[in-house]
Amino acid sequence: MMTYNEILSFHGHECPGIAMGYRMAKAALEKLNAVRSEDEEVVAIVENDACGVDALQCLTGCTFGKGNLIFHDYGKQVYTLFSRQTGIGIRVLYHGKGAPESAKESRKAFGDWILSAAVEELMDIEEVRIPEPQMAQRRKSINCCACGEAVMDIRIRMIDDKPYCIPCSAEK
C-alpha cells in the first residue's frame, strides 16, 4: 500500500482533499477487508472529481484505465467500494462534523486534523447492496469521417449514415 507521502508526491501538493480521500479510501478498504486491486477485484464509484480521488486511486488500485473506477458527477464527498469476491459494497460519506475551530484556521491545520481525527468525527461508513458493476469492456475503434481520428464505437455519432466523433458532430 502506498504511503501518504507517496500519494502526496503523485498528487503534487498537500491539501485537505487529499487527506480526505486518503482517510476515506483507507477506511473503506479496511471495512471491506480488501487490498489494492490488481485488476478489477475492487470497483470504486466516486461521486466527485476532486483531489481525494487521486488518493483513492493510489490506495485502491481503481483507475479509469482498468475500468474499475466509475465517476458519478454528483459533487458529493462519497466513495463506494465494491468487492467482486464478496458482492459487498462499502459507502463512505465525508461529513467532518467533529472539526474543531482550530482546524478551520488554515488548510494545513484542516488537513492535519483530517489525518489525525477519529473515523466517526470524519465520516459515515455503511455496507450497501448495489448491482455488481459491469466488467471493463474492450471496444472497437471507428475513424471519424471528418477529422479521421479513431473513436471508441460507443462514442460515435451517426449523421447521414456517416460516423462522426463528438466534437465533429457538434459542428454539423
Bridge partners (DSSP) of residue 143 are 150
All three cell numbers of 121, joined, read: 468525527
The pLDDT value recorded for residue 40 is: 92
CA 167 to CA 147: how far, in whole Å? Answer: 9
The pLDDT value recorded for residue 77 is: 97
Is 4-128's fold the same as 141-171's?
Answer: no
The pLDDT value recorded for residue 120 is: 94
The pLDDT value recorded for residue 134 is: 87
Instruction: Compute the radius of gyration of the chain from its Cα atoms.
Output: 19
Domain residue spans of the chain: 4-128, 141-171
The pLDDT value recorded for residue 172 is: 75
All three cell numbers of 119, joined, read: 473515523
Cell numbers 498528487 correspond to 11
Helix 107-116 to helix 16-32 angle (10° resolution) is 10
* Domain 141-171 falls under CATH 3.30.60: yes
Q: Give me the CATH code for the 4-128 domain, please.
A: 3.30.1330.130
Cell numbers 459487498 correspond to 88
Cβ neighbours, 10 Å, residue 94: 21
The pLDDT value recorded for residue 124 is: 98
> pLDDT tens, position by position, for the chain (172 residues)?
799 999 999 999 999 999 999 999 999 999 999 999 999 999 999 999 999 999 999 999 999 999 999 999 999 999 999 999 999 999 999 999 989 989 988 999 999 999 999 999 999 999 999 998 888 888 899 999 999 999 999 999 999 999 999 999 998 7
